[in-house]
Amino acid sequence: MSAKLSRAFIFPGQASQYVGMAHDIYDRYQEVRELYNQANEIMQLDLAEISFNGPEEKLKQTRITQPAIYVHSVAMFELLKAGNILPEAVAGHSLGEYSALVAAGAFSFQEGLRLVKIRGELMQRAGEIRPGTMAAIIGLEFEQIEEICDAVSGTGVVCPANYNSPGQVAVSGEIEAVRAAMEKAKEAGARRAIELVVSGAFHSPLMEHAQEGLRQALAEAKIRDLAIPVYTNVMATPTTSAEEVKDLLYKQLTHPVRWTGIIEHMITDGIGAFYEVGPGKVLTGLNKRINRELSCQPVGDLTGLDEILAAEN
């Protein structure tokens, strides 16, 4: 990558959804309405209706949450692209990696949504087969949390799932083991240890039940070499290889999201401006904790989009 300051798009994952998401861009732009029409057909349900009007309980189901965030994120990307605002690199947090891959030219919107639909269904089912939970631990070093997970492993499976920012890691695994890790973290001086409301132990070995189905879906998908690099969850480093993308999307289900590493590598490679493309501002918040000097702007609604179109054109 060049030494000059360049632009990256980053795409949010699960927990960024909210009732009403993308409604404003749907109302204004015909091309967004067309995307939702295609999505409704692929999903065999009214994703637009659930995204815009809820109920929240339904939107929070993994098999619906993931496609809802994906469609919103790709719709925002397409509007930026129409305004000639394009990234030189991309990354996405967990599910967000699929949105990032559309932006990088790895596959079409439709192909990506088919994969996301299968992934969401498989992950929801895996959470029912092997129930688990996750917890956010705030105020400890990465190494401390790894040691805590090792120390309580006698109570069951628990491991780091998301290295979100310095001092903030999500752990994932069997319920008893996660709660034991939370207690141990508090004893070690963690500021907070909060159990998350999730339908499964994402990015842990408990997701192995989802892997075979996803492997098959990835093998059948039309995935091209990328036009720009994606910094992957599993490695935190860039790739443009279709074959590597397939392998890493498969591994992503049971491996941690190395978000801090992704952003640090992007900065080292010359990225100076980040746009969070999709619902919410979760990644903007994480990036500020990784590096306070970072320019990171959320583009999740009409206000954010209009600001950027006005500033860049």
**DSSP strand pairing (238-239 vs 271-277):** unpaired
- The position carrying tokens 């990032």 is 100
Give me the pLDDT at residue 2, please: 40
- The position carrying tokens 């490679």 is 269
Checking 246-250 for CB contacts under 8 A at 24+ apart, the result is 246/218, 246/219, 246/221, 249/97, 249/98, 249/115, 249/214, 249/218, 250/211, 250/214, 250/215, 250/218
How far, in Å, CA of 38 to CA of 70, rounded? 13
- Residue 241 tokens read as 């290889």
Query: CA angle at residue 121 from 55 to 99, to 5 degrees?
Result: 85
What is the reported pTM?
A: 0.96
Catalytic residue among 16, 94, 199, 204: 94
**Could you tell me how far CA 197 lies from the centroid of its own chain?**
16
Domains of the chain: 6-128+205-312 (3.40.366.10), 132-196 (3.30.70.250)
How far, in Å, CA of 252 to CA of 234, rounded? 6
For the question of residue 94 being annotated catalytic, the response is yes
For the question of residue 6 being annotated catalytic, the response is no
Determine contact, residues 299/275, Cβ cutoff 8 Å.
yes
Buried/exposed 44-71: b ≥16 CB within 10 Å, e otherwise:
eeebbebbbeeeeeebbebbbbbbbbbb
Residues of the chain with pLDDT under 70: 1-5
Label residue 116 exposed, middle or buried (CB < 10 Å: 0-12, 13-18, 19+): buried
pLDDT digits (tens, 9 = 90+) for 163-212: 999 999 999 999 999 999 999 999 999 999 999 988 899 999 999 999 99
Catalytic residue among 72, 93, 203, 209: 203
Give the ranges where the chain is alpha helix by DSSP (H): 23-28, 30-43, 47-53, 56-59, 62-82, 96-103, 109-129, 142-151, 175-187, 208-220, 242-252, 259-268, 282-290, 302-312
How far, in Å, CA of 213 to CA of 207, rounded? 11
Rg (the chain; Cα; Å) = 19
